[in-house]
Amino acid sequence: MTGTVLILGGRSDIGVAVAHRFAMLGHPVALAARNAENLEATRSDIAIRHGVEATLHEFDVLETKALAAFVDSLGSLPEIVVCVAGAMGKQRESECDPEAATLVMRTNYEGPAVALGLLAERMVKRGHGTIVGISSVAGDRGRGSNYIYGSAKAGFTAFLSGLRNRLSKSGVHVVTVKPGFVATRMTDGMDLPGALTTTPDVVADAIYRAVSLRRSVVYVKPLWRPLMSIIRAIPEPIFKSLSL
C-alpha cells in the first residue's frame, strides 16, 4: 500500500529523511511546517527524485485551536502520519523562565497530542491508518539535566500508549519511536557518545520498518532499550545522588 505520508514538522532533519524514505517506495508525501513556502526546494527535490506527488502545508503545532481546520484543509486524509515536531529548549532557561518551559512542554506534548488525536478520530471513522509519534528516551525517566523536555516527552509517550491501546481493534495502528541521540540541527554542537548516536536516515529506516511490521514501541538503537530498563530500575535514593 502506498498511501500518502503526512509529516508534521516537515523541516526537521528526521522529518525530511522520513519523507525521502517513504517517497523512494512510491508514497506521496505531504510536508507540514511553519513557513512551509520555504520548503519548496525540499518538496521539488522529493517529487523529482522519487517521482511522487509532494505537497506543502502551513502548520504550527502550537496553534491548537487551528489544528482541526488544518486537518480539514488537507483535503484527503493521509494513510500514515509521522509527528516529528519538537523542541528541546535549554534546560537551565526552562528552569528559570516559565515562558521557555511552557514552549517546550506545549511543543513536545500538548500540540502533538492534540494534532494526532484529531487525525486519529478521522482515521478511526475511515477504518485504517498509521500514526507515528517521535518521542524520546528522555521521557523514560526524568533526569536532572533535561527533565523539562523529558517530562513533555513522557506525556507524549503516555498519550501514544493510551491511543494505541484504545485503537487496537479499530484498524488504526500507533507507533512510538524513541530515537536515542540523533545527529541533527537539534543536537548540533552537543558532544554525543558515538555508540548511542545515530543518523536521520537510520531513524527513517526504523520508522519505515516499524510501520510495515506494525511495531508498537521502537528504540532505534537497540542498546537504548536495556540501558533505559537499567536507568528506570535504579532506586530513587541512589538515582537522586547521580548526576544524570
Ligand X SMILES: NC(=O)c1ccc[n+]([C@@H]2O[C@H](COP(=O)([O-])OP(=O)(O)OC[C@H]3O[C@@H](n4cnc5c(N)ncnc54)[C@H](OP(=O)(O)O)[C@@H]3O)[C@@H](O)[C@H]2O)c1
User: In angstroms, what CA-CA distances link 220 with 30, 100, 135, 170, 176?
Assistant: 24, 29, 11, 26, 11
Q: Taking Cα atoms as reference points, which of 208, 75, 201 lies closest to residue 132?
A: 208
Q: How far is the CB of 221 from ligand X (least distance, A)?
A: 11
**According to CB under 6 A, which one of 9, 78, 139, 150 is a site residue for ligand X?**
9
Question: What's the CA angle centered on 110, arms 167 and 10, to 5 degrees?
Answer: 85
The reply to whether 155 sits near ligand X by the rule CB under 6 A is no
Q: Are 83 and 132 in contact (CB under 8 A)?
A: yes
Q: Restricting to residues 23-42, which ones interact with ligand X according to CB under 6 A?
A: 33-34
**Stretch in the footprint of ligand X (CB under 6 A) among 41-49, 81-89, 116-124, 162-170:** 81-89
134 binds ligand X, rule: CB under 6 A? yes
- Pick the piece of the chain touching ligand X (CB under 6 A) from 48-56, 163-171, 185-193, 231-239: 185-193
Instruction: Dig out the grid coordinates for 145 from the structure.
Output: 539535566
170 vs 197 by CB, closer to ligand X: 197
- Distance (Å, whole) CA 202 – CA 197: 10
From the number of C-beta atoms within 10 Å of its C-beta (0-12, 13-18, 19+), residue 23 rates as: buried
Any catalytic annotation for residue 149? yes
Q: Which span sits near ligand X by CB under 6 A: 44-52, 78-86, 94-102, 210-218?
A: 78-86
Give me the residue label for grid cell 484527503. Answer: 76
Q: Quick check: 146 binds ligand X (CB under 6 A)?
A: no
Q: Count other C-beta atoms under 10 Å from residue 62's C-beta.
A: 16
Among 186, 202, 217, 234, binds ligand X (CB under 6 A): 186
| Residue selected from 14, 132, 160, 174 as contacting ligand X according to rule CB under 6 A | 14
Catalytic residues: 149
Residues of this chain that interact with ligand X (CB under 6 A) are 9, 11-14, 33-34, 59-62, 84-87, 107, 134, 136, 179, 181-182, 184-187
